[in-house]
A and B are shown apart, each in its own frame.
Chain A
Amino acid sequence: MTFIGNKSDLRVVGTRPVRPDGVDKVTGRAVYGADATMPGQIIGKVLRSPHPHARIISIDTSKAEKLPGVKGVITSADIPNIPSEEAFVGEGPMNFRDLSLNCMARDKVLYEGHVVAAVAAINDAVADAALKLIDVKYEVLPHVIDVEEAMAPGAPILHDTLFTAGVTPKPTTPSNVAKQVRFTIGDVEAGFKQADVIVEQTYTTAPVHQAYIEPHACVAAIAADGQVLITASSQGHFMIRAYTAKLLGIDIANIRVTNAEIGGGFGGKTVVYLEPLAVALSKKSGRPVKMTMTREDVFRGTGPTSGGTIWVKVGATKDGKITAAQTVIKLQAGAFPGSPINPALMCAFAMYDLANVDTLGYDVVSNRPKVAAYRAPGAPISSFAAESAIDDLARKLGMDPIELRLKNAAKQGSKTVYGVTHGVIGYEEVLNAAKAHPHWTAPLGKNQGRGLATGFWFNIGGESTGGVFINEDGTASVVTGSPDIGGSRASMAMMAAEVLGIPYEKVRAVIPDTASIGFTHVTGGSRVTYATGMAVTQAAQAVVEDLKKRAAMIWDISPEAVEWKDGEAVPAGANAGGFDPLPLAAIALKAAKTGGPIGSEISVNAQGAGPGFGAHICDVEVDPETGHTTILRYTAVQDVGRAIHPAYVEGQIQGGAVQGIGWALNEEYIYNKKGHMDNAGFLDYRIPVASDLPMIEAVLVEVPNTRHPFGVRGVGEVPIVPPMAAVRNAIRGALDLELFHLPMSPPRVRAAVDAAKAPKAAE
């Protein structure tokens, strides 16, 4: 793959056209998961466990089945009891048996909200009435919510079959610690001995939900011959196909999934909850079954990301050279193993060029919903602690926080704790852009503070399919297997238009169903513009080669004597002949005479995704009497490789920053003593509202990724990594408060104000 041109040569890439899905979305025509219908559909609903931990003694569905209007009731008896099998289909490792048990409990319920049965009925009211008629007898077991308590001796054990992996000798007693994992380079003990200044602290973060505005929804039907149709909103219709096939024992070829528009996912829609149940209910009832979650269902039944406990120790010499960094991280996995502990460990210090790093992590189950991916899974958690510690280190050293970071910045050739050596990266460029931004030196008023934090995310490539087809009139159709979450249809059309040399408006991008395009991995890991974009670019390049051949055929000259320029075939030089340029439309018109339809579909397994770095500057004003924090100004600087559509890149950065601000200030799961979530709704699970926020200024730094034809780096995940520490460091700057726990909600900040006053009064 050759790198396509300098920025100044690009006509379409780097501009800001209207997105192809925009009009439908703002006028309400777009079909989301809950809008999809099938003829004759009925309603499916689930029964959720009221207990956080209990053994299921019996489930009697007979009364519900007899209720007029009920067409089918299912329990785990209707779902295949599949063996344990590790897989990688969504955005992280997944055990199919755990996924099956998470969709429908068997033997035990492991969290309040765990599904134990489901009904299909002619309408909502009948379905609700039927759920009340299902009689489940439970033996209630002691439960554990908190990660430290789940690790403590004597804690209620969730899985008798779970033994801590990663320790030798292999344990013989079951544990809630699913895995212990360590990444190390150098010798931290030796490193700390060289340090003049050391900071050491334990931090905690709360589990937070992805809080996509659209609850999960699907409609599914299975025909008498076993063919399945599903329409669902997700981050990957191939993922839904794979999981549904595996969980129900259906051949993949017998399942066709159409992706509905998606109203936000952020990683949370890379797993299934409803689709296998809808298919099982359809099988039982003989009718298409529609299932839609409520917001309460989303909170009680679907994955947040982990909360965790993070101990961090960082040492540096007097002149600011970091000599050692160490962390121990314990992450909540929810009811089944699978917290993002590995990336949490790997990302904590990935911004720095360090000789001695030691990271140790634990993946811990407890009686809460199983976590799902959330933007840069794991990185925001460890970075909150690490970037708070770096800020405290800068204070102790009396150094500017940007200078301290520049002094230790990772660059090309820096080795990471997980063994990878950084290629061309833009961390120093990002830090220098932050330093040069007027925000960094703007004056501050009373009770106001400024914080800075930085973040890293790998970004991934992977399997994608993209097609480019030339229509008879010279317009082009672009097809990909990637559900469009952040404007990817626009970026795909732009890359194709750039290569073909035709206007963006002449290219339409669509996302066909799973039977109509090659396999494509989920929209996650910030991979779509990179990997699917690579497939589309290659397909467009193949089309251009074909167009040149067609022109050569029409002119009766050698294909090597034809060049493609601004959407037209032109003779390569005077020797090639004196032909008038042949525009794409003219070649398309003669396609039948030159070999038939013109098009190319390319499948790739893209490697070489370039990591991204961000630096966020946050100004706050804190009301010391109420503990209320107002975000006054926020600037997010990020290396984006090259922005295909800068407005959507800025949108990703702004959205990530806002979600991080919510994580920092107010979002948390509040559990009562019974192990029930007390705030399963947007009233008391407080994501920021528009009036809580200033305009987030996104500053794009472009250090192109040499492995992508246009220089793309993934951009969607980096921006959620720095905000929590940026806000924390800003509050610390405003009132000099010791804050180590998220969320930094008003009661917590007010308590810190009171705590800060108390010792001073005693002096």
Chain B
Amino acid sequence: MPSLNYVAPTTVSDAVKILADASGPTRVLSGGTDLLVQLRAGRISPELIVDTKKIPGIMGITGSAAEGFTIGAATTGAELGDHQALKAAYPGVVEAANLIGSKQVQGRASLAGNLCNASPAADSVPAVIAAGGTVTIAGPSGTRTAPAESIVTGPGRTSLAKGEFIVSFHLPAIKGKTSDAYLRFIPRTEMDIAVVGCGVSITVDAGGTITAAKISLGAVAPTQVPVDASCIIGTKLDDAALAKLDAAAQAMCNPIDDKRGTIEFRTKVAGVLARRTAKIAYDRAGAR
């Protein structure tokens, strides 16, 4: 009979050692909202589960808009939603994280779990990428920092090496008139998985002209994909710029036909969401 062991180390170094020494299939547990479901459905059968939640600092939010925020890897969506300063500075990241699952799931679901589950449809990931988020990774050879977009390499696959796990997320200091937004499309209103997701961060000057922008699409390719934002930089997001953005977003799509949407539908909706999300981020940035 297969056996399953569970450990809950209390230090980062213990966790790294356990992960590095593990010989069989091993999974890192944060909130477990994907892991436990996959386990129950028989889609995975790990021999070892390493729960990170007993590690001090793995949950919690520090910092400010002026100096940037550090978010513990296992911090729950509910905590993100309750953090007024974070919500004010990064409304897009928080609204994306808060779209995961349901109210009940929000009490457990974490940014690290959402990222490392490596689903192309993960809600928080395009938002964190657009916001310029980075992650701090602990591993056998010490600690390293990497951009959020470098983690997911394909459905269910990450760039993390054996023994590595994410300790925290970092969102940069807000400079000038910058804000973000995230929209996703689902057939229902909640309890669903993104057919298309879009994160946008925009910086405008005093006159409302866009000086910087970062856009990330989810669920339209094997990994989150960037959209070339040059078509809106230097504009005030007029109709012509929005049309170009729509086309640029569609150009980046390489989706599959599946139970959640057709290639044609996903591609068209990616353009629609890019426009709509950019408009929200632009209005928020202008209001700063």
Contact = CB atoms under 8 A, between A and B. Distances in A.
B268 A692 contact: no
Interface string B257-268: 011111011001
A683 interface: yes
Residue among B1, B190, B193, B258 with most chain A CB within 10 A: B1
A626 B193 CA distance: 16
Given A626-B269, A747-B265, A689 B260 contact: no
Interface string A672-689: 000000110001101011
A746 B187 contact: yes
A80 B269 CA distance: 55
A745 interface: yes
A76 interface: no
A747 B185 CA distance: 11
A666 B188 contact: yes
A403 B261 CA distance: 40
Nearest to B275: A625
Nearest to B37: A683
A2 interface: no
B14 interface: no
Nearest to B190: A691
Main secondary structure of the interface of A (DSSP, over half): loop
A129 B1 contact: yes
Given A129-B1, A683-B193, A628 B259 contact: no
Say which size band chain B's interface belongs to.
20 to 34
A625 B270 CA distance: 11
B272 A688 contact: no
Contact of A745 (B187, B192, B264): B187
B272 A626 contact: yes
A390 B248 CA distance: 44
B259 A670 contact: yes
A760 B269 CA distance: 22
Nearest to B42: A128
Interface string B175-207: 000000000010111111101000000000000
A125 B259 contact: no
Given A625-B272, A626-B269, A691 B259 contact: no
A666 B1 CA distance: 41
B268 A686 contact: no
Contacts of A626: 185, 269, 272
Contacts of B261: 746-747
A688 B190 CA distance: 10
Contacts of A625: 268-269, 272
A750 interface: yes
Contacts of B262: 747
Contacts of A684: 259-260
A678 B190 contact: no
Contact of B189 (A129, A296, A670, A692): A692
Nearest to A677: B259
Main secondary structure of the interface of B (DSSP, over half): loop
Nearest to A629: B187
B187 A688 contact: no
B188 A746 contact: no
A113 B41 CA distance: 16
A363 to B, nearest CB: 28
A628 B187 contact: yes
A131 to B, nearest CB: 11
Contacts of B191: 683, 689
B190 A750 contact: no
B255 to A, nearest CB: 12
B108 to A, nearest CB: 17
Contacts of B41: 296
Contacts of A670: 259
B189 A689 contact: yes
Interface in A658-707: 665-666, 670, 678-679, 683-684, 686, 688-689, 691-692
Closest 8 CB pairs of A and B: A747-B265, A691-B189, A625-B272, A679-B259, A684-B259, A670-B259, A678-B259, A692-B189
8 contacts: A126-B1, A625-B268, A625-B272, A626-B272, A686-B192, A691-B190, A747-B264, A750-B265
Given A626-B185, A665-B187, A686-B188, 10 more contacts: A296-B41, A626-B269, A626-B272, A666-B187, A679-B259, A683-B192, A688-B188, A746-B261, A747-B265, A750-B268
